[in-house]
Chain A
Amino acid sequence: MKNALYITTFLSVFALASCDIVDEPLKDGIGGGGPAPTETLRSVLIEDFTGHKCNNCPKAADEIDLIQGLEFGNRVFAVGLHVTQFFAGPDASYPEDFRTPIGNEYETFFNISALPTGMVSRTDYTSTSSGHLKNYSAWASEAFALTAELAKFEILPNVTYNAVDRTISVTAQIPVLEEYTGNLNFMVMITENDIVAPQKMPDNSKNSNYVHKHVLRGGLDGSWGKVVNSGTALEGDTLLYSGVSAPIDSTWNKDNLYALMFIYDADSQEIWQVTEEHVP
């Protein structure tokens, strides 16, 4: 019986020592300004895999809004990739088709099987697992950690629009801030903001006036961009993205188009720097 008492005491001590009781769940200063960084910090890209018939996907979109309203949120960029036939295919109730060849290719390559899900700068990517796919509740923590890192690259873009033939052109200089060895690609995506179209909502109802944000429309260099470095890029070097021009679709609202640009490792897939510019 004495043994049982000892054991019960040990269990109680173990129990008390292994719990964190939180009285104040919310951190102070959410959305606050904070001092401007003196060094170039890393920006992150949230790739939100979504679909207009995915009833939980608006929650993920709301999470992006929340993150972009935080102190570091101006260095968090987003793109919504509508994927899977089941969740993003058009029908009579949801006539729009926001799927793209890039999204279709990513759906297979990144092993998308459930929505909503997303990648934060494609960290933790492996071809044989799904560690790179994060539930939206994890995006804030992931983005917070990555945006605290010093940037390895900076992106200085030049985005132009030719109204005559409705083409977008992008070039970019990419100063190397830290020596890097690896194959680097530069990708330009065209996204459209504020598209009003039906969306299935969390209560399973249809919102015909839902505002879709960051919708991927296409890319300038296919699904994987253009090679900008092979081997070692030294600190102080500047990589060049010579760019191409591409026409925009007549159904896209040019005033809401953005050029989303990022540099990533073509082997690990990790996105090292990202920026966005409104198409002028």
Chain B
Amino acid sequence: MARPWKLTKQPPALVKKLLLIIAVIGGSYSLWSQEETAPDYGELTGNFQFDGYFYQEDSAIGAFGSNYPDEKFLGQGFMNLNYTRGNFRMGVRYENYQNVIQGFPTEYQGEGITYRYAQFVKDGLDITAGNFYEQFGSGMILRGYEERGLGFDNMFDGVRVKYEPIKGLALKGVLGRQRKFFEKSNGLVRGLDGEFNLNELMGFGGNTQYILGGSFVSKYEAANSPIYNLPENVGAGAGRFQINSGKFSFSGEYMYKVNDPSFDNGYIFRKGEGLIFNGTYSTRGFGLIVQAKRIDNLSFRSERDASFFAVPINFLPPTTKFHTYALPALFPYATQPRGEMGFQVELTKNFKRGSFLGGKYGTTVVFNYSVASSIYKEYYDATDTLNLVKEGYKTDWFKAGDILYFQDFNFLVKKKLNRNLKMNFGYYNITYNYDVLNKGISDEDIVAKGNKPNMIYSHTFVLENQIKLTSRKYLRTELQWQLTDEDVSQEVINDDFNMGDRVMLLIEYSVAPNWFFAIQDIYNYGHPDVAKRLNYPLASVVYQVGTTRFQATYGRQQAGIFCVGGVCRLVPATNGASLTITTNF
């Protein structure tokens, strides 16, 4: 965590001018303290990141032609500046994409100030004008957030008011337009959220905490369709609860959305519904997490014709585990907003030191199982145009769908063998519906084809060792081995690099606190297409000084294809060198 630039001394003249400008822009709030001895000029904090990539042509992995950028070198980055004094806060972010690096949404083209806000907190009132991020409940009805690594940002530009009129009641209201890359959404978003802490509000519950919440979000977008009577105002409501009692925690949220025909749902006028439950139990040495979810037609964007990363209002939380090891991470899962039933359970057990399984230093075991499938859908006859457009299909909450999207069983054993050696061993068994998750094919099209989607079944074994060589020198190795069984067409084999058995070796050597070196290679020795049995070597060096980090990488990265809601984006293969600089202050 960077130490903020605390201005307790007289600042240099240039900085003083800058702060004066900020104060004038920010309004009438007095920048200069009346105390002569210790003037408080506030705090200025920020961070900076630059990513540059120098590309090489590499026909073996498909990095040529239109997949090889004319610019040869692409770079992008950002800087955030935040100024805080007392109850007042303001900030800006500058972003540049000159030009956007491969694999990111190409809609990010150019440079400019993308984020600016002023915020004031007083008497329980918290007001933000300008850009802001916000979340109601689990985010199922509204969530503005950013994922820099993905190139995702759906922040709002408008006004947000938070108010706590009485203890135990928190209210939020938002009005704004969402960011759409370097533009803004055509649609307006209005939202209200209230959260009641019953213990504080009504004075009951003892050691058990009861929280209830409710949200309403509405979007407006003008409509001019020659085909449909489109709703211009689309509303959604959600109710939630949370109960915390000692070792137990249980929460849930239900969302309902009125007719919202869109590109995502194929312009059907069906209502949307979603229900999610989370339960946890934790005690010393033992943890249990259970999640269940049902989603039906719950894509919610401020533009009805938007797709991919553009202007989603809500976030549908996944009920699968995100893997950090490289090979199991090749088969990721994303919530399917058109419809999904999901379930996840995770059990963590620490075996104590000195026990039979704990040994001298203790052992941790994590088991995880998750599954996601379609919801039950009974389609209307093709001649029943009205119901096809109005409802699309019939469903039943208590019947499961026939299409398996994803299933993951995995476990990880963490063991310290001696003072200098830690070892992790993991196993990942993933069933991956290639058609749904890689090609974005709809349930209807899969059913029409006899419910025989292209499937990939994988078993991955991971062995990680962390060796302390000296007090400052560490060696970390990863050996990963993935065995796959593809039930796919010849066309998929021809198109896709991402299949077949492979093995990966990673060696990292670090000298604290400044240096870090790593080399890795993935060898896709079992690709069904012999021409795609390739090595993907990668080497990197990191130099860190204070809060500043320089990273240089050179090597190959695999191609992939990414589909959402019926539109596909190619994430091309790359070969080349990259440089990343990050710092904060």
Tell whether A and B belong to one assembly.
yes
B106 touches A3 (CB 8 A): no
Q: A128-B110, A131-B183 are in contact. Are A26 and B385 (CB under 8 A)?
A: yes
Which of A53-61, A168-176, A246-254 faces chain B? A53-61
Determine which of A25, A104, A128, A204 lies in contact with B439 in the assembled complex, contact meaning CB atoms within 8 Å: A204
A138 touches B70 (CB 8 A): no
B181 touches A11 (CB 8 A): no
B445 touches A203 (CB 8 A): yes
Chain B nearest CB: distance from A22 CB in Å? 5
How far, in whole Å, are A115 and B572 apart by their CA atoms in the complex? 14
A129 touches B107 (CB 8 A): yes
How far, in whole Å, are A86 and B573 apart by their CA atoms in the complex? 11
Which of B18-26, B164-172, B504-512, B543-551 faces chain A? B164-172
Determine which of A7, A25, A86, A137 lies in contact with B570 in the assembled complex, contact meaning CB atoms within 8 Å: A86
A19 touches B227 (CB 8 A): no
B330 CB–A CB distance under 8 Å:
no
B149 CB–A CB distance under 8 Å:
no
A39 CB–B CB distance under 8 Å:
no
B182 CB–A CB distance under 8 Å:
yes
- Which residues from 15 to 30 on chain A have a C-beta closer than 8 Å to any C-beta of chain B? 15, 18-22, 24-27, 30
B231 touches A22 (CB 8 A): yes
A20 touches B232 (CB 8 A): yes
Which of B261-269, B331-339, B371-379 faces chain A? B261-269
Determine which of A71, A107, A130, A202 lies in contact with B181 in the assembled complex, contact meaning CB atoms within 8 Å: A130
A111 CB–B CB distance under 8 Å:
yes
A85 touches B225 (CB 8 A): no
Please classify how large the interface on chain B is, using the bins under 10, 10 to 19, 20 to 34, 35 or more: 35 or more
How far, in whole Å, are A145 and B106 apart by their CA atoms in the complex? 28
How far, in whole Å, are A80 and B230 apart by their CA atoms in the complex? 28
List of B residues within 8 angstroms of A93 by Cβ: 490-491, 494
Determine which of B105, B226, B307 lies in contact with A30 in the assembled complex, contact meaning CB atoms within 8 Å: B226
Contact with B along A37-70 (1 / 0, CB 8 A): 0000000000000000111100100000010001
B229 CB–A CB distance under 8 Å:
yes
How far, in whole Å, are A184 and B223 apart by their CA atoms in the complex? 31
A111 touches B106 (CB 8 A): yes
Chain A nearest CB: distance from B109 CB in Å? 5
How far, in whole Å, are A8 and B201 apart by their CA atoms in the complex? 15
A129 touches B494 (CB 8 A): no
A36 CB–B CB distance under 8 Å:
no
Determine which of B107, B258, B441 lies in contact with A130 in the assembled complex, contact meaning CB atoms within 8 Å: B107
B107 touches A27 (CB 8 A): no
Determine which of B105, B190, B226, B440 lies in contact with A140 in the assembled complex, contact meaning CB atoms within 8 Å: B226
B495 touches A53 (CB 8 A): yes
A135 touches B263 (CB 8 A): yes
Determine which of A22, A30, A53, A140 lies in contact with B259 in the assembled complex, contact meaning CB atoms within 8 Å: A22
Determine which of A24, A66, A205 lies in contact with B449 in the assembled complex, contact meaning CB atoms within 8 Å: A205
- Which residues from 178 to 219 on chain A have a C-beta closer than 8 Å to any C-beta of chain B? 200, 202-206
List of A residues within 8 angstroms of B568 by Cβ: 54-56, 114-115
Which of B154-162, B233-241, B345-353, B478-486 faces chain A? B233-241
- Which residues from 418 to 441 on chain B have a C-beta closer than 8 Å to any C-beta of chain A? 435, 439-441
Q: A137-B263, A203-B446 are in contact. Are A27 and B570 (CB under 8 A)?
A: no
List of B residues within 8 angstroms of A24 by Cβ: 229
Which single residue of chain A is at the shortest CB-CB distance from B389?
A25
B181 touches A129 (CB 8 A): yes
B569 touches A114 (CB 8 A): yes
A108 CB–B CB distance under 8 Å:
yes
B567 touches A85 (CB 8 A): no
B567 touches A114 (CB 8 A): yes
Number of interface residues of A (CB under 8 A): 63
List of B residues within 8 angstroms of A130 by Cβ: 106-107, 109, 181
B88 CB–A CB distance under 8 Å:
no
A275 CB–B CB distance under 8 Å:
no
List of A residues within 8 angstroms of B220 by Cβ: 18
Q: A22-B259, A91-B494 are in contact. Are A3 and B166 (CB under 8 A)?
A: yes
List of B residues within 8 angstroms of A21 by Cβ: 231, 258-259
How far, in whole Å, are A3 and B269 apart by their CA atoms in the complex? 36
List of B residues within 8 angstroms of A113 by Cβ: 105-107, 569-570
How far, in whole Å, are A144 and B230 apart by their CA atoms in the complex? 14
A11 touches B214 (CB 8 A): yes
B380 CB–A CB distance under 8 Å:
no
A141 CB–B CB distance under 8 Å:
yes
List of B residues within 8 angstroms of A87 by Cβ: 570
A26 touches B192 (CB 8 A): no
List of B residues within 8 angstroms of A3 by Cβ: 165-166, 169
How far, in whole Å, are A58 and B195 apart by their CA atoms in the complex? 47
Determine which of B181, B229, B306 lies in contact with A135 in the assembled complex, contact meaning CB atoms within 8 Å: B306
- Which residues from 112 to 155 on chain A have a C-beta closer than 8 Å to any C-beta of chain B? 113-117, 127-131, 134-135, 137-138, 140-141, 144-145
B449 touches A26 (CB 8 A): no
Chain B nearest CB: distance from A244 CB in Å? 29
List of A residues within 8 angstroms of B202 by Cβ: 1
B283 CB–A CB distance under 8 Å:
no
B322 CB–A CB distance under 8 Å:
no
Contact with A along B199-231 (1 / 0, CB 8 A): 001100000000000101010100111111111
B491 touches A22 (CB 8 A): no
List of A residues within 8 angstroms of B62 by Cβ: 86
B567 touches A92 (CB 8 A): no
A72 CB–B CB distance under 8 Å:
yes
B224 touches A141 (CB 8 A): yes
- Return the 9 tightest CB-CB contacts between A and B, nearest first: A18-B218, A20-B231, A19-B235, A138-B305, A128-B110, A113-B106, A203-B445, A144-B226, A137-B263
12 A-B pairs (CB sep. < 8 Å): A1-B201, A7-B171, A11-B192, A11-B216, A15-B235, A22-B230, A85-B64, A86-B561, A113-B105, A129-B181, A141-B226, A144-B224
Beyond contacts A26-B386, A203-B449: 11 other A-B pairs, Cβ-Cβ < 8 A, are A3-B166, A7-B171, A18-B233, A25-B386, A70-B227, A129-B110, A130-B107, A141-B226, A145-B224, A204-B445, A204-B492
